[in-house]
Copies of this chain bind each other. A is one copy, B any other.
Amino acid sequence: MTMKQRLIPAAALAAVLFAGAAWAEEPIKPIEPVKEINLAKAELGKKLFFDPRLSKSGFISCNSCHNLSMGGSDNLKTSIGHNWQKGPINAPTVLNSSLNFVQFWDGRAETLKAQAGGPIANPGEMAFTHEMAEGVVQSIPGYVTEFRLVFGDDKIDIERITAAIAEFEKTLVTPNSRFDKWLLGDANALTAQELAGYKLFKESGCVSCHYGASVGGGTFHKMGMVEEYKSTSPAEGRKAVTGKDEDRLMFKVPNLRNVELTYPYFHDGEAETLTEAVDIMGRLQLGKKLTEEQNAQIVAFLKSLTGEQPTFTLPILPPSSDKTPQPKPFED
């Protein structure tokens, strides 16, 4: 190699690399590592994410239903809320949620920040109010100084609380799955069965909804396009937001990253295994009855989407002060 060859400008080199990238022709893209994070804000958000004092009971935190030990979900059909209320819907994973085009199954929040305020004030979930959550955080000296550090002044309100949580959630991406390694050029990262599954995933049409870096999360689609989906779930999907009948059972397409970890499946959590979920999706969305072998191939491919889980030190929460309002776990 001559000196001249080595002096290609970086930008030009990047363009060449990108054009020649293994994934350029693929409908699924690698997850990009996190960029432009406000570290102090994310650290504060991590504490708030794990803090059950944002709930009326003092027992339920964001992490209770979006458990980062368990794929960012609770692995229950529907979640458990204040006073053990049965939630109406399966908790979507918080992992890679920054890649979703909107938040919640019905897309009623545009941003991570808007989403974070929802469960805190939902009577069926954390059952608090934004004002009470603000009062609790304001009463905790460790938070007071940390908000000053992050935001530069003394204001502590739900806007800043949820902004910090959202900043932490931006860090919860899971790059470097075996599938991504394959996309990035490691031809040996996938087995023959997984590759066959990916081929089938594309050819069968799964990829028309599940595409991009998050393998979903970019559009609304109807649950039960070819064949009706039967469920006792009260969830109406997008109709709850728009009021339009035609939006009934229109849900945000779930992203399939780490789907191996986020069982059970669908908005009602009624599919317990990936095998069951793939079979139902094939029939109801695509009008295709997959053979046992085809199903196993797609399941194998889906399991190759499990990425590096976010690893971090369990946060130590600043203690309450004598002025902190007491939690009320046994009030309705």
Which residues on A are within 8 Å of B, measured CB to CB? Answer: 50-53, 57-59, 64, 67-71, 74-76, 80, 83-84, 86, 260-261, 263-264, 272-273, 275, 309, 311-317, 319-320, 322, 326-327, 329-330
Contact = CB atoms under 8 A, between A and B. Distances in A.
Contacts of A71: 319
A69 to B, nearest CB: 5
A313 B316 contact: no
A143 B308 CA distance: 19
B83 A58 contact: no
Contacts of A263: 319-320
Nearest to A310: B314
Nearest to A75: B58
A93 to B, nearest CB: 12
Contacts of A312: 313-314
Contact of A319 (B80, B260, B322): B260
Given A75-B320, A76-B327, A76-B329, 8 more contacts: A50-B69, A51-B69, A58-B76, A59-B76, A70-B317, A70-B319, A84-B329, A86-B329
Contact of A329 (B52, B80, B314, B327): B80
Closest 3 CB pairs of A and B: A84-B84, A273-B322, A309-B316
Contacts of A319: 70-71, 260-261, 263
A64 B67 CA distance: 12
Contacts of A80: 57, 59, 329
A33 B52 CA distance: 30
Contacts of A330: 86
B316 A314 contact: no
